């Protein structure tokens, strides 16, 4: 069954309260997907809101945090999240690129007992991150341009998911998780699942729905 990581990016600021968190938790989501935006790597800046929100979640919820850093200065921002003991911290390849810096970040996150992921934006090919795959826990394939919720799924990305799945198989990396983020709904979820995805991020489809439990179930059972 697919795992569901719920993005809070499309929730209104006044909704980011324990009731929303509690309702999502009882809808049996697998992770809270924390989209951190710095106003540089992406236009939006939600550094303060997301820090506050993650701190609250780390106190009141048993659901793991799946932190997605859409930021330029990964080393600085990840230090805000490490003390919260998230399950996963994912950062963008496009923000770093330099091999030594990439490896240092990967090791730092793992040394804190946290899983590490690399995210790739639509324009990046999976071959560009191939050398890092043996050292990480997940690859996050963006199926929209990172930055905001509620965008349309880019279907050309399905080939990229398939390519990564094949790469994982060819290199005996079966524990590596493929997470897909952007434009996921009850229809696109079926496509990404058959392409080989293990975990989907869903924001607006769930947080704009009337019944969270029902929408989560629809995605899980796709
Ligand atoms: C995009 C974010 C996503 C996104 C998901 O920049 O990384 O996590 O907000 O939202 P939906 O599901 O609405 O595309
Ligand atoms: Zn995200």
Q: What are 2-15's pLDDT values in tens digits?
A: 999 999 998 877 77
- Considering the candidates 35, 79, 98, 108, report the single residue annotated as catalytic: 35
**pLDDT (0 to 100) of residue 17:** 82
Domains of the chain: 3-220 (3.20.20.70)
CA–centroid distance, 183 to ligand 1, in Å, is 7
Distance between CA atoms of residues 214 and 222, nearest Å: 12
User: What residues does ligand 1 touch, defined as CB less than 6 Å away?
Assistant: 7, 9-10, 33, 35, 68, 144, 146-151, 181-184, 201-205
Q: Please state the φ and ψ torsions of residue 173, each to the nearest 5 degrees.
A: -110, 40
Number of the ligand closest to the Cα of 90: 2
**pLDDT (0 to 100) of residue 2:** 96
**pLDDT (0 to 100) of residue 19:** 87
Please enumerate in sequence order all residues whose Cβ is within 8 A of that of 160, keeping only pairs 6 or more positions apart, or say none. Answer: 120, 125, 126, 141
**pLDDT (0 to 100) of residue 15:** 75
Buried b vs exposed e over 64-85: b needs ≥16 C-beta within 10 Å?
A: bbbbbbbbbebeebbebbbebe
Distance between CA atoms of residues 70 and 62, nearest Å: 24
Place of tokens 């050292």: 135
List, for the chain, all residue ranges whose pLDDT scores fall below the cut of 70: none
What 3 state SS string does 109-158 have?
HHHCCCEEEEEECCCCCHHHHHHHHHHCCEEEEECCCCCCCCCCCCCCHH
79 flagged as catalytic: no
pTM of the complete model beyond 0.85: yes
CA–centroid distance, 207 to ligand 2, in Å, is 14
CA 156 to each of CA 31, 130, 143, 153, 167: distance values in angstroms, whole numbers, following the listed order? 26, 20, 8, 9, 18
CA–centroid distance, 69 to ligand 1, in Å, is 12
Distance between CA atoms of residues 57 and 60, nearest Å: 5
Atom of ligand 1 nearest to the CA of 146: 6
Torsion sign across C-alpha atoms 19, 88, 218, 9: positive
Number of the ligand closest to the Cα of 143: 1
15 flagged as catalytic: no
């Amino acid at each position: 069954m697919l795992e569901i990581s719920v993005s809070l990016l499309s929730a209104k600021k006044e909704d980011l309260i324990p009731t929303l968190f509690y309702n999502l938790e009882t809808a049996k989501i697998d992770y809270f997907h924390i989209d951190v935006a710095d106003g540089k790597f992406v236009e939006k800046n939600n550094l303060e809101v997301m820090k506050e929100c993650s701190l609250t979640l780390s106190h009141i919820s048993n659901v793991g945090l799946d932190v997605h850093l859409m930021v330029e200065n990964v080393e600085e921002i990840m230090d805000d999240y490490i003390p919260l003991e998230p399950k996963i911290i994912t950062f963008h390849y496009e923000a770093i690129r330099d091999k030594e810096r990439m490896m240092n970040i990967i090791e730092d996150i793992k040394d804190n007992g946290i899983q590490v992921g690399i995210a790739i934006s639509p324009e990046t090919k999976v071959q560009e991150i191939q050398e890092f795959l043996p050292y990480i826990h997940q690859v996050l394939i963006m199926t929209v341009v990172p930055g905001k919720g509620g965008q349309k799924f880019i279907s050309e990305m399905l080939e990229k998911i398939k390519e990564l799945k094949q790469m994982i198989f060819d290199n005996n990396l079966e524990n590596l998780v493929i997470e897909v983020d952007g434009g996921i709904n009850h229809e696109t979820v079926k496509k990404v699942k058959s392409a080989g995805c293990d975990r989907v991020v869903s924001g607006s489809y769930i947080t704009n729905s009337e019944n969270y439990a029902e929408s989560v179930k629809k995605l899980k059972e796709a």
